[in-house]
């Protein structure tokens, strides 16, 4: 469904050294092992080097969306992972002042946990994960000239989150050009 995904870095596996681009994935991996010290080190690295992501993010979005009039949305995320998306949100709010955040219109019905799977879910299963608050959506998206929606996340693994959100939009019959944007795209490793 979301075929066009812009990304800043391709992750090639756990052997890759930790850097600002793969910090979200490394942070989650450390969390699985309850390694709080490593998670704190990764958060610090991310915060110190975030300006690299911010500059590259602005360039990639400007080069691919041309105009800065678009809707954007982040998926619901666990509180401990918000640091990654919150910093991206600040960049959008400061650099794309005509764009409109519609994240609050998305209702997460149940947790998707996309970074922990390598299986792409079929559309009939993805429809169970996100819905739209139609009243809020209609109020925020009154400007019908805007036809682009940028779905933003820190990590892209199978595309399940973006596809679930796109299905929710499709249900309310709004025709958007939907583009995904992520810091880190996980590459499927083939032997």
Asked, for residue 24, whether it belongs to a domain, the answer is no
By C-alpha distance, which of 188, 126, 189 is closest to 160?
126
Q: What is the pTM of this model?
A: 0.86
23-32 and 82-95 helices, crossing angle to 10°? 160
Q: Check residue 118 and give its pLDDT.
A: 61
Number of domains in the chain: 1
Query: H or E segment at 160?
Result: helix 160-171
Q: Check residue 191 and give its pLDDT.
A: 43
Asked, for residue 35, whether it belongs to a domain, the answer is no
Asked, for residue 34, whether it belongs to a domain, the answer is no
CB atoms within 10 A of CB 18: 17
Q: For residue 124, what are the domain limits?
A: 5-15+54-186
Contact yes or no for 109/75 (Cβ under 8 A): no
Asked, for residue 108, whether it belongs to a domain, the answer is yes
Asked, for residue 40, whether it belongs to a domain, the answer is no
Q: Which residues, at least 6 apart from 101, have a Cβ–Cβ distance to it below 8 Å? A: 71, 72, 73, 89, 92, 93
Q: Check residue 16 and give its pLDDT.
A: 79
Q: Check residue 122 and give its pLDDT.
A: 65
Can you tell me the distance from the alpha carbon of 81 to that of 86, in angstroms, rounded to the nearest whole number?
A: 9
Low-confidence residues of the chain: pLDDT under 70:
80, 113-123, 144, 188-191
Q: Check residue 96 and give its pLDDT.
A: 92
Asked, for residue 114, whether it belongs to a domain, the answer is yes
Contact yes or no for 72/91 (Cβ under 8 A): no
Q: Which residues, at least 6 apart from 37, have a Cβ–Cβ distance to it below 8 Å? A: none
Asked, for residue 132, whether it belongs to a domain, the answer is yes
Asked, for residue 161, whether it belongs to a domain, the answer is yes
What CATH number should be reported for the domain holding residue 104?
Answer: 3.40.50
Q: Check residue 119 and give its pLDDT.
A: 65
């Amino acid at each position: 469904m979301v075929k066009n995904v812009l990304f800043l870095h391709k992750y090639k596996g756990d052997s890759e050294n930790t850097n600002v681009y793969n910090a979200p994935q490394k942070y989650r991996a450390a969390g699985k092992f309850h390694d709080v010290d490593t998670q704190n080190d990764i958060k610090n690295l991310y915060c110190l080097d975030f300006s690299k992501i911010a500059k590259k993010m602005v360039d990639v979005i400007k080069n691919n969306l041309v105009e800065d009039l678009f809707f954007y949305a982040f998926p619901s995320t666990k509180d401990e992972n918000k640091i990654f998306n919150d910093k991206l949100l600040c960049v959008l709010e400061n650099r794309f002042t005509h764009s409109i955040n519609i994240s609050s219109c998305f209702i997460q019905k149940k947790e998707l946990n996309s970074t922990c799977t390598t299986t792409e879910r079929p559309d009939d299963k993805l429809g169970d994960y996100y819905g739209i608050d139609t009243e809020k959506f209609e109020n925020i998206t009154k400007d019908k000239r805007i036809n682009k929606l940028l779905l933003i996340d820190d990590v892209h693994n199978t595309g399940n989150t973006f596809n679930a959100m796109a299905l929710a939009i499709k249900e309310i019959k709004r025709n958007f050009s939907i583009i995904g944007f992520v810091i880190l795209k996980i590459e499927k490793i083939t032997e």
